[in-house]
Amino acid sequence: MKNSAGIFLFLLLLTCTSCSSLYRFAIDVQEPAAVTLPVSAQNVLILNNTVKQPINYGIERAFNEKPIREDYPLSLDSTVWTAINEIAGVLEESNFFRTVAVYGDSIRTDTEWLSLYGLSPEDQSDFYNMGNYDALLVVNRILFAMNEYVIQTGISDSEITGLVNLRANGILTCSMYSYGKDKPLTTFTIIDSVFTKSVVDGDSTIFFKEIPEFMLHELSGRLGNQAAQRFTPTWKTVERTVFRGFSARMQEAAGYAANRQWANAESLWTTELEKKTNPVDKAKIAFNLAVANEMQDKLDSAYTWVQKAKEYLENVDQIKHSQEIEYTNKYFSNLEQRIQNNRLLDLQWGKSE
């Protein structure tokens, strides 16, 4: 037991020493939109091209295992507007478009609620000319399927206590048109769901109208949010790491890094690199220089440095230095992806023109 305790203490100290040799921090990086629109698509009009599904289609509800069908009809008319308003809000907040507007009426007049009808060139022209719009985001269809089961668990005065078990699935289909193009640039479908299982006090109206309608609007908002996100660059928090080292100069450089004084850290690491002969030490410093350059938005230089770090590690003991190799390979891939993303972001923001 004494030897086992000693081994455990050694491993613990080794782990702590390993952790203390790294400095981790978070940064926010921008990722490109899933759909790259023409730079000219700056003024967007959102259109409701849907037909409301029949009121009880796909909606199943029961109270104490007895179906609820015609009573407490759900109002589905406004769910599409919840999705559209969410789309408009996300697009406006992104500052990616100059103008975002919503056409306030449904443009469909038929009753074929399952059918998808695109916009004719003539229809497109009419909407473009309404306000000098150059892009039309069209919501073609929104459908729901919902199962709600309520089991009464108690009663007091005029209120019932019931266990509500509800799940709703939703499908939203949209198209994006751009001025000068008769066919949509993209047509896509978003699928999502919401659910709840909770004990609620109330009456039948709360159970079978207010709660399900609230959940359907929540789902509509989520669908709209995801649809809008396809057209806007987003921010993502990612982790970065630097090797501290144990010499005074390496500790000083790590201190500069912790205070985001990357130029000072880079200068020290550059000086230290010239002094080192051990390939592992050189790889760690080259890795740090890559991070320092990335933090100063010098991505091409960062990529060059992380390539050098990989080269230094090619002829070292792969098992003994697996941690350094793992960090370097992962950072190489992450940086490569960020460079590709930035090229696409420049295209989406119009900076490459």
Q: pLDDT value at position 296?
A: 97
pLDDT in tens, 210-258: 999 999 999 999 999 999 999 999 999 999 999 998 889 999 999 999 9
Q: Which residue has the tokens 């001025």?
A: 179
pTM (2 decimals)?
0.81
Rounded to an integer, the average pLDDT of 63-90 is: 90
Under the banding of pLDDT at 50, 70 and 90, the label for residue 278 is very high
Question: In the prediction, which pLDDT does 238 show?
Answer: 96
The model's confidence at residue 352, banded by pLDDT at 50, 70 and 90, is: low
Question: In angstroms, how far is the first alpha carbon of the chain from the final one?
Answer: 70
24-38, 64-78, 224-238: the lowest-pLDDT one: 64-78
Q: What's the pLDDT at 11?
A: 34
CATH 1.25.40.10 in the chain is located at: 237-349
Check whether 20 has a pLDDT greater than 80.
Answer: no
Which tokens in the block code for residue 65? 């295992």
Average pLDDT for the chain: 90
Q: Give the model's pLDDT for residue 75.
A: 86
Residue 328 CA to residue 197 CA, distance in Å, equals: 46
Superfamily of domain 237-349: Tetratricopeptide repeat domain (1.25.40.10)
Query: Three-class SS of residue 80?
Result: helix
Lookup: tokens for 66: 């007895």
Q: Is the pLDDT of residue 111 over 70?
A: yes
- Quick one: pLDDT at residue 21? 87
- Could you tell me how far CA 69 lies from the centroid of its own chain? 38
At 233 the pLDDT is: 94
Instruction: Report the pLDDT value the prediction gives residue 301, as an integer from 0 to 100.
Output: 97
Which token pair is 291? 């991070």
Work out the pLDDT band at 56, boundaries 50, 70, 90: confident
Per-residue model confidence (pLDDT) at position 14:
34
Give me the half-sphere count of Cα atoms (radius 13 Å) on the Cβ side of residue 274: 5
Where does the pLDDT of residue 112 fall: very low under 50, low under 70, confident under 90, or very high at 90 and above? very high
Q: 341 CB contacts (<8 Å, ≥6 apart)?
A: 29, 30, 31, 32
